[in-house]
Homo-oligomer: A and B are copies of this chain.
Amino acid sequence: MTDTRLEIIPLGGLGEFGMNCMVMRFGEDIIVIDAGIMFSEVGHFGVDSMTPDFTFLERHREQVRAVILTHSHEDHIGSLSFLLKKVNVPVYGTPYTLRIVEPRLEEHHLLPATALRVVQAGETVEVGAFSIEYIRVSHSTVDCCALAITTPIGTIVHTGDFKFDATPVCGNAIDVARLRTIGQRGVLALLSDSTNVERPGQMPSERVVIPALEEIFDRARRRIFVSCFASSIHRIQIMFDLAQQFGRQVVAVGRAMERNIEIAERTGFLDTADLLVNPKDFKHFDPSEIVVLASGCQGEPMGAMARIADRSHRQAWMEAGDTVVLSARQIPGNEKAISKLINRCYRNEVEVIDSTQARIHVSGHGAQEDLRLMLEAIRPKYFIPIHGEYRQLYRHKLFACQTLGYAPDRVLLIESGDVVLLDGETAQIGDKIAVNRVYIDDTCSLELDETLLRDRKRLAYEGVVIAGVAVEETTGALLGPPEITTRGYLGVDGEEEEIAELRDVALSAVEAMPPAERVNGGKEHFQEHLRLALKRHIMRLTGQKPTIVPLVVVV
């Protein structure tokens, strides 16, 4: 390891959406950019979310200097607690970002032990060999930054998540001038968000949703329920502005919604104009006087919006003639939950408006024109597409090469675990490091390993058949008939016949092994013999492969 080489190692977020985490090492100094979570596709199996594999950081714990946060979305901060439990280092971020982080660290009892270092957009911090400048970018939440990371061999720009919005609703616009200045000084590599590379044109400003929402407010005669992502502070500001314009008060329901509004107001990004009233007072308002901001826009069954639609929310309810506005995109995988929410709303005879019917949502990730602007402002020597599945990274590379004329060897198409080696002149892709997904059960904040998940998938698919056998300790003699029980196992006959049959199979299997071997061959040997006999029988008879658990009790 020489001191003139920079390593860039994504631990997550490249080749997958979510759990963004990028490691940079120069000499003996490591910084970690973002530590995100990915929401689970396997919730059925008790997995709530996934975090990157931090093994590499644990192995080099003495080199890790800091975590640098670009912004406060879950896919950038959600695994921070899990990382800090393994490697506790200072955390840098903007004021709003760190305020969002705080209660999470508190939940994990990490707050007192963690150094949170506030950085304002425009400021630079020194961390080991790295000099890190925070540059304002526009996005769907507030206080987001790109990073210009200067190292002894050159500057790396990491965009975070961004779009070019010259007229954001809250806070300052993306600092294009600064990005251009940095680009003019020379940038070794640009790491740029690929999320919306498949969308042509430029992503409109957050303000684009105002006219359609204004029309909805204008038309509504009774309550308006708006559900959006609780982190969409620009959107929330628009709702307060419209509430003021149309003489309504605002009720915020749902923990995330209430908390984010409070933090955004405290950090100066949101102006609630004294319109916010306590959810308890919902019942006192005439339907024409109120807007309800509710979390749960993805139809989460326990979300505020679903509970309101379901008439199971303690404080708020809807009635015929009210209006429901779903001001968010449908995250793939959530369509059925959202449809269920809409069905529920219609059962209350309300009007439902979602983003397929009116321009009431806009993405915070830049489309092709934004991506072009970023590449042209920075004009890097090397370009590394980040944040996306292989399809987005590939298309981003293609876009840079075909549209902007980048030579293919100047665009590095890498995925999580790949190691990019830069020496200021050349770029190489080194040996991949092993990165697994780490599955998290939120009930107990514990990690599940792959074996456990595989066992659960198996149990789910065809259930479990359990065979209990008691044998005498010294002789191995069978004591009484085998005991069979099943859970989630289908079988082909009636339950009783099935169990009787399996008992016979188990009995024959036991009898087929000499009593001495049952005890002398070891319990595992005996159990495996029993398991295989049952497995073969069930497979032959029904084609099914339930989990079979033999349980030998030695008496």
Contacts and interface: CB of A to CB of B under 8 A. Distances in A.
Interface of A: 15, 41, 44-46, 198, 332-333, 335-336, 339, 342-343, 346-347, 352, 356-357, 389-391, 394-395, 441, 443-444, 446, 448, 452, 455-464, 466, 468-470, 473, 479-480, 482-483, 485, 487-490, 492, 542-544, 547, 549, 551-555
Given A391-B342, A456-B459, A335 B336 contact: no
B551 A485 contact: yes
Nearest to A43: B461
A90 to B, nearest CB: 30
A82 B269 CA distance: 60
B479 A390 contact: no
7 contacts: A15-B343, A44-B461, A441-B544, A452-B463, A452-B489, A455-B488, A485-B551
B464 A464 contact: yes
Given A464-B464, A543-B444, A555-B470, A346 B459 contact: no
Contacts of A549: 464, 466, 485, 487
A390 B332 contact: no
Contact of A333 (B15, B335, B444, B452): B335
Which 3 residue pairs across A and B have the least CB separation, nearest first?
A460-B460, A332-B335, A455-B488
A448 B46 CA distance: 23
Contact of A336 (B41, B463, B464, B466): B41
B343 A389 contact: yes
Nearest to A340: B389
Contacts of A452: 463, 488-490
A555 B480 contact: yes
A551 B483 contact: yes
A27 B192 CA distance: 70
B336 A336 contact: no
Nearest to A547: B487
A473 B479 CA distance: 10
Contacts of A485: 549, 551
A319 to B, nearest CB: 16
A476 to B, nearest CB: 14
Given A198-B357, A552-B483, A456 B466 contact: no
A41 B333 CA distance: 11
